[in-house]
Amino acid sequence: MKTFTYNDIEFSVAKVGSAWDITRQSPGGASALVGGGLFAGLSDADAEARAIGLVKTVYPVGVRTVGPDVTHPNMIGDLKIVGPDVNHPNFIYWNKDSTSFAK
C-alpha cells in the first residue's frame, strides 16, 4: 500500500486482486473509498501515478469566483448599477498542492 498527501489530505493506494483501491484517510482515523477496482493490471508505479492524477481531478485546489448577479442590478437612487455579464462561474487554479500556509 502506498500513501501520499494532496491538499493536506492523506490518500492510500492499495492493490486488491489485479486492481487498485484509492482511500481517503481522515484525521480522526476513519477512511472513505474514493475509487475501487481501478487500473486493473497496471504496475505499482503506473497505478500510483494515475491515482494521484485522479485525486487531483476529484479534489481540485483553487478558488471559485462567481460574477455579479445581472438580473438584480444595484439601485442607487434612480441609477441602476449592473456588473459585467458573467454567465459561468470561474475556477482559478494555482500550481500548489496544498491550501495550507508554508511552515
Nearest CA-CA partner of 44 in 13, 68, 69: 13
Same domain, 75 and 54: no
Residue 98 in domain: no
pLDDT > 70: percent of the chain: 70
User: Residue 73 pLDDT > 80, yes or no?
Assistant: no
Same domain, 33 and 54: yes
| pLDDT band, residue 12 (cuts 50/70/90) | very high
Domain count, the chain: 2
Same domain, 47 and 68: no
Give the pLDDT mean for 13-36: 90
| CA 22/CA 2 separation, integer angstroms | 10
Same domain, 22 and 38: yes
Structural domain of residue 9, as residue ranges?
2-58
The cell 486492481 sits on which residue?
Answer: 19
Contact 34, 12 (CB under 8 A): no
C-alpha to C-alpha distances, 97 to 62, 87, 93, 94, nearest whole angstrom = 10, 29, 10, 9
Give the pLDDT mean for 50-77: 76
Same domain, 77 and 53: no
Please list, residue by residue across 40-73, b when 16 or more beta carbons sit within 10 angstroms of its beta carbon and e when fewer do: eebeeeebbebbbebbeeeeeeeeeeeeeeeeee
**Which has more confidence, 84 or 27?**
27
Same domain, 8 and 49: yes
Same domain, 71 and 39: no
User: Residue 88 pLDDT > 90, yes or no?
Assistant: no
Residue 23 in domain: yes
Helix (H, G, I), strand (E, B), or coil: what is residue 61?
coil
Residue 68 in domain: yes
pLDDT > 90: percent of the chain: 30
